[in-house]
Structure 1
Amino acid sequence: MSADASWRFDAIGTTWTVHTEQDVPAELRGDVLGLIDAFDREWSRFRADSLVSSLASGGQAPAPVDTAAMLDVYRELADATDDAVTPLIGGSLEALGYGARPVASGAPAPAPSWRDTLRWHDDLVLSAPAVIDVGALGKGRLADRVFDLLRSRLSGAVVVDASGDVRLDCAGEPVRIALEHPYDPTRAIGVASLTTGAVCASATNRRAWGDGLHHVLDGRTGLPVDVVVATWAFLPDAMHADALATALFFDGGPELAQAWGAQWIRVLSDGRAEYQLTDANIELFR
């Protein structure tokens, strides 16, 4: 980027950084923050006033604008991973202590069958108590929407970095993105030099709150995964990249990546790396 005006702010529990060639005007900043807050009011299980919190006991409500885009991809994730990835993982996370509601037991709780419980079209419907959690791809979806809003009103390069979910268009001038080592955040296992598209990362050392407890759970068991410790996915949009970064923690993830035409990396708990890279601009250090 020939010039770099940065805007940094906190939202949805993480830090966002926007890089543009011109300062983001105050009105546009307000629109971005309003977009994020509206998404949070609909999809955050940490807010008592959110739509998903209101549905936790079962019921229905008009489907928010992002519903089909996200939940249709969740169907693909669930099919690819034999339901290890599920949009009803929220209760399992709360059972292990990651949530706003009181924890009843602290024991692992498998997610209920979303196929029997969750429907969406004009309305979002839960036919039984359950907690919707779109964490497998929601931040990527929101990064795409913020990027699209900025791109529609600003000229030149735009980079949206939502703490691990990056969407960018740099007009041919690459941005170097370090791939953080999952066991040492001061080191990188590689670097990606990207001009457009998205890269999303997920790791078990992020959003961890206890010994062996982290945010990537297997919906079939309610237990945190322990074979894969970090993933990266490269695709044109952040929602699909974020979704794939989650799927890569499970069997079926690499096959989904192939179906989507994605490049990817995952690091196993024994330190080995598995990957499918075809772009010379994505380099792993040996």
Structure 2
Amino acid sequence: MTSERSRWRFEAIGTQWEIETDEPLDDDHQRQVTTVIEGFDKAWSRFRSDSLVADLARGANSVPLPADATAMLDAYAALSAATSAAVNPLIGEALAARGYDDSYSFTDRGAQPTLAEWQSSVSWHGGRLSVVPPATLDVGALGKGRLVDLIVDLLAEVRGGIVVDASGDLSVRGSRQRVALEHPFDPRRAIGVWEISDAALCASSINRRSWGNGLHHVLDARTGEPVQKVAATWAVASRAMVADGLATALFFDGGPRLARDWGVQWVRMFTDGQVQWSPGCDAELFRGR
């Protein structure tokens, strides 16, 4: 991107965002973006007491079905099946138990395995979302990607190229973008670059949102323990929600198979430094990582 492009930077849902456009977004478009983010957060955030997720955790039998529930939870069903329930939307309480709670205490209270048969407790049909018995939903495996997609769709009428970057989850439309693949153990380095156009690239890494002795945000829902084998993942798809979900699934053995089924390119780096990538992947990976 050239320096002449307009960049709108702001903070939302606990992370930094940047939207690049050929011309500055007008006030109306900025208000629309803010409204979409607020609506999504009000439905899905487990960090705010007034969200629908919080209502369900407190014991509400059901809440009105949020607009994004079907797309996200249907995708979760596929991610869960591919990873033998390691990726699971009821992981919220397991994350809170390890210290990633609504007060950001980062106090580890031990591993808390998540119900593997989560679909017997979660229903998203008939215009209602229910969780019985009460539990804490967490859509972090793909929620940020979904929100990126919503904003890209909202700004479809904006002329020229656009990049929506939500700190690791980005979507590019009408232009090309070279993205460095940050080394998970040294943010000053990259293991490669990936040039994308009219696509989304999402990344996940154990060095982001990490605390304590080896604790980080990528848990195996079956055990409540942080993953140990994979250090970072990257996935490219036409939609950010798909790439985001696959970037999470790639921490587990079933991820590559699901990526093949969904037609998603990927790269992942193991904690021992080895790098693996999908057949036909067009990322440029450096030697001597």
Both structures adopt the same fold (TM-score exceeding 0.5): yes
Q: Does 1:110 align with 2:110?
A: no
Alignment CA distance shift 1:116-1:57 (3 Å): farther
2:161 maps to a residue whose letter is: A
Residues 229-255 of structure 1: CA distance to partner in whole angstroms, max 9, x if unpaired? 100001000000000000000010000
Residue 32 of structure 2 aligns to which amino acid in structure 1?
D
Indicate which of 183, 186, 191 corresponds to 1:184: 186
Kindly state the Cα deviation for residue 266 of structure 1 after the two structures are TM-superposed: 0.6
- Write the distance in 2 (CA, Å) between the matches of 1:105 and 1:169: 41
Structure-2 separation of matches of 1:175 and 1:77: 28
**TM-score, with structure 1 as normaliser:** 0.95
Instruction: Determine the structure 1 residue equivalent to 2:65.
Output: 63
8 Å contact from structure 2 (residues 98, 107) kept in 1? no
What's the CA shift string for 1:37-92, capped at 9, x where partnerless?
11001000000111000100331011000000000000000000000000000000
Question: Which of the numbers 238, 243, 247 marks the counterpart of 1:236?
Answer: 238
The structural deviation recorded for 1:134 is 0.1
1:283 partner letter: E
Q: Give the RMSD, CA atoms, in angstroms.
A: 1.5
Deviation, structure 1 residue 129? 1.8
Deviations 1:111-161 (CA, angstroms, capped at 9, x unpaired):
123122101111001110210000000000000001111123x11101000
Alignment of 1:161 with 2:162, yes or no, is no
Deviation of 1:279 after TM superposition, in Å, equals 4.8
Unaligned runs of 5+ in 2: none
User: One-letter code of the match for 1:95?
Assistant: A
Q: Within 5 Å, which residues of 2 pair with 1:217-236?
A: 217-236=219-238
Secondary structure at 2:57 match in 1? coil
User: Quick check: 2:209–2:216 contact (8 Å CA) kept in 1?
Assistant: yes
Gaps of 5+ in 1: none
Note closer, same or farther for the CA distance 1:53–1:233 as it changes in structure 2 (3 Å cut): same
Equivalent position amino acid for 2:253 in 1: D
Look up the SS of the partner of 2:87 in the other structure: coil
Match for residue 129 of structure 2 among 124, 127, 144: 124
Q: Secondary structure at the match of 1:243?
A: helix
1:140 and 2:140 correspond? no
Displacement of 1:195: 1.6
The one-letter code sitting in structure 1 at the alignment partner of 2:51 is S
For 1:183-227, what per-residue CA distance to the aligned partner results, in whole angstroms no more than 9, with x for missing partners?
A: 100000000111211000000000112111110001110111010
CA shift in 2, pair 1:104/1:200, >3 Å:
closer
Tell me the amino acid that sits aligned with residue 99 of structure 1.
D
- Tell me if 1:149 matches 2:154: yes
Instruction: Tell me the residue number matched to 1:27.
Output: 28
- For 2:253 and 2:160, the matched residues in 1 are separated by 40
Identity %: 51
Q: TM-score, normalised by structure 2?
A: 0.94
